[in-house]
Structure 1
Amino acid sequence: MFKRFFWISFFLLLTACSKSDKPTIAFYYWKTSLKFSETEKKVLKDNNVRKLYIRYFDIGLHPQTQNPFPISPIHFKENIQNFEIVPVVFIQNKVMLEAKLDIKDLAEKTIHLISEINKKNKINCAEIQIDCDWSLNSKDNYLKFIEQIKKLSHKKLSATIRLHQVKYFKKTKIPNVDSGVLMFYNMGSIAPDSLNSIYNREISEKYLQSLKHYPLHLDFALPIYSWVIHIRNQKVLGLRSKLNFTELKKDKNFEQISPIFFRVKQSNYKNGVYYEENDLLKMEAISSEDLKNMAEDLSENSAQAPREIIFYDLDEFNLKNYEKNIFEQTVSCF
């Protein structure tokens, strides 16, 4: 009897995160110039990635006219004909807060610029994604904008969804899109405390049960990025990218004082940023264990199984922090 129980338990352990209908792997690409490094190419090939969500441009408000305008459109320097491309447009919430916003005009200009980029690079996309963290005050403009984009594009339309928009969807409303992508990150405040603002399992648990009641189909975006919070006198000065544990440990100007904090031993410039003696650097990153916890929690609480998991974002700096099979291991938990 014990032997039989052992083998049943062993089998269940092996199959717990290895379903045959697991979602596909996709990536966000969030740089202004698209050219893959050898590491990025290898990850795409090893994970059989066929779909990329590419940030085409942001939409902000012009500092002088306060009119909406496109920011940093993408430049393609790579042949991407072997991939299904989904243009992503990030819209700053302050655009949608404009009381006199010409929604139809903005939608027309958005579709036109997407079409121009596609035409120039011989891309025939079937889907467009709109990324905006809309609020209660901006929801009316945002929902009308989505309706215009849907009407003008004649394509599948998806939208990014935040945790608070899932939990309080009766107030924040649901955009008229074909599907949503839950951005399962940026859960806390960027602060000088010891909490990780990118992902905190305790915070996520306050929202997870709401997923079962959300009417829109959701796929999931999981974080693989990291950043450093620059702190002086208990005040946050800003976020610093492209820094990691290894680099700071090798630098004699910094000393590690805890698992996530470094202290500046002597004033110096690093990557063009000035660090003053006794400044603190707080490392925020996502471990492989974090990714598996996210996947398991989302799988347990989802109303429907996701069709794909999108990792944010495809960048050699992010990829080198993980073992080769981490993306397969993560999606296997759904």
Structure 2
Amino acid sequence: MKKQFLYIFLFFILISCDKKESPVISFYYWKTNYQLTPLEQETLDGNNVQKLYVRYFDVDLDIKTKEAFPRSPIHFLHKPQIKNIVPVIYIKNNVMLQDNLNVEELAQKTFDYVELINLKNKLSCNEIQIDCDWTLKSKSNYLAFIESFKRISNKKLSATIRLHQVKYFEKTKIPNVDSGVLMYYNMGTIAVESLNSIYDRGIAKRYVSSLKKYPLPLNIALPIYAWGIHIRDNAIVGLRSKLTVEDLQSDKNFTEIDEITFRVNKSNYRKGVFYQREDIVKIEAISAADLKEMASDLQENLNQQPKEIIFYDLDELNLKNYEKSIFKQVSTRF
């Protein structure tokens, strides 16, 4: 009898030791004005979110002078109450494509601007993230920029990583950062006939197995946004952000063709955008089932468990499309 109790005791110890903790839940905040709505704050509190990745500004190229400059900086309308703020700097690839780019100067100016925003708003940070979809042609400048920025900032540095940069990492190389964030979305081509350019499992499967060999520690970014592809005369007019099926179902100027496609039945303006009669709007969105499917596919192919699952992005217009427990449901699948 004593032996039986001992075996049972050892069994439960082994079970408890083998049990892994789920990755923590974080979010991106991608608006120009920082001011949380009650639902956004409730989402942070309900998921015990300790870290928020806030887009501080973009770095773009001036058309005339060909000089890099900060565009659309963040304005904090109230001070964040969350434990950790991670400034995210989105650098357009055209900046890194400049032949005469002074990467040391760009790194210094970029860091100085981050510090200026922090000083103005009485904020501090331990980590900064660089978001840039670099290519083979911009690789040298980008990697040199990362080296300079890491030395100048003397902070933990993370970088966004795309699927093609994982699969072909021997060519695209790996930036010298502490960790990467795999952007598991925007994997298809925005086109009239595309099914869903945000997430296409068929495209993802061409790349996801490469994760087993990728040497940089990765956290995962998953999409929770939707948009509309605005089509006129079989050509794309534009991309309409944060537009959902429910939005158009409740608008009498649009007629539902199928579950994701609408025809404009009367010319109208909607949120400053002109929709001409007979235009087509196709909604691309991510369902709860899609998120769970993504998590399962990633979990099978990652060479180590991610520490964070970061959802893009924290916005009431996105959050209202999901049940409150979805973020924990997804996290526990890793």
TM-score by length of 2: 0.93
State the distance in 2 between where 1:151 and 1:64 align: 31
- Tell me what 1:210 maps to: 210
- Tell me what 1:47 maps to: 47
Q: Letter of the aligned partner of 2:276 in structure 1?
A: E
State the distance in 2 between where 1:242 and 1:106 align: 33
Offset, 1:242: 3.3
- Tell me what 1:136 maps to: 136
- Tell me what 1:73 maps to: 73
Residue aligned with 1:115, SS: helix
Residue aligned with 2:262, SS: strand
Q: Letter of the aligned partner of 1:265 in structure 2?
A: N
State the distance in 2 between where 1:65 and 1:178 align: 34
- Tell me what 1:4 maps to: none
- Tell me what 2:311 maps to: 311
- Tell me what 1:106 maps to: 106
Offset, 1:263: 0.6
Offset, 1:20: 4.3
Contact 2:160 2:180 in 1 (8 A): yes
Range with greater deviation from structure 2 (208-217 or 186-195): 186-195
State the distance in 1 between where 2:213 and 2:278 align: 48
Structure 1, residues 301-329: CA drift from partner, whole Å, max 9, x if none? 00110000000000000000000100000
Residue aligned with 2:282, SS: strand
Structure 2: any 5+ residue segments left out of the alignment?
Answer: 1-14
Offset, 1:194: 4.3
Offset, 1:83: 2.2
Offset, 1:79: 2.4
Offset, 1:82: 3.3
Range with greater deviation from structure 2 (28-37 or 240-249): 240-249
- Tell me what 1:226 maps to: 226
Structure 1: any 5+ residue segments left out of the alignment?
Answer: 1-14
- Figure out how many residues of one structure are paired with residues of the other and give that number: 317
- Tell me what 2:5 maps to: none
Q: Letter of the aligned partner of 1:99 in structure 2?
A: D
Q: Letter of the aligned partner of 1:248 in structure 2?
A: L
Q: In the TM superposition, what are the counterparts of 1:52-201 in structure 2 within 5 Å?
A: 52-201=52-201
Range with greater deviation from structure 2 (173-182 or 185-194): 185-194
Residue aligned with 2:147, SS: helix
Residue aligned with 1:309, SS: strand
Offset, 1:59: 0.1
State the distance in 2 between where 1:218 and 1:137 align: 24
State the distance in 2 between where 1:58 and 1:302 align: 30
Contact 1:55 1:87 in 2 (8 A): yes
Offset, 1:246: 1.8
Contact 2:225 2:242 in 1 (8 A): no
Residue aligned with 1:263, SS: strand
Offset, 1:80: 1.5
Q: CA RMSD in A?
A: 1.1
Structure 1, residues 62-93: CA drift from partner, whole Å, max 9, x if none? 12211000001111112224320111000000
TM-score by length of 1: 0.93
- Tell me what 1:260 maps to: 260
State the distance in 1 between where 2:216 and 2:132 align: 17
Contact 2:52 2:82 in 1 (8 A): no
Deviating above 6 A after TM superposition, structure 1's stretches of 4 or more consecutive aligned residues are: none
State the distance in 2 between where 1:286 and 1:171 align: 31
Residue aligned with 1:157, SS: strand
Contact 1:161 1:181 in 2 (8 A): yes
Q: Letter of the aligned partner of 1:266 in structure 2?
A: K
State the distance in 2 between where 1:188 and 1:170 align: 23
Contact 1:81 1:123 in 2 (8 A): no
- Tell me what 1:30 maps to: 30
Contact 1:228 1:283 in 2 (8 A): yes
Identity of aligned residues (%): 60
State the distance in 2 between where 1:141 and 1:244 align: 39
State the distance in 1 between where 2:152 and 2:135 align: 24
Residue aligned with 2:293, SS: helix
Offset, 1:252: 1.6
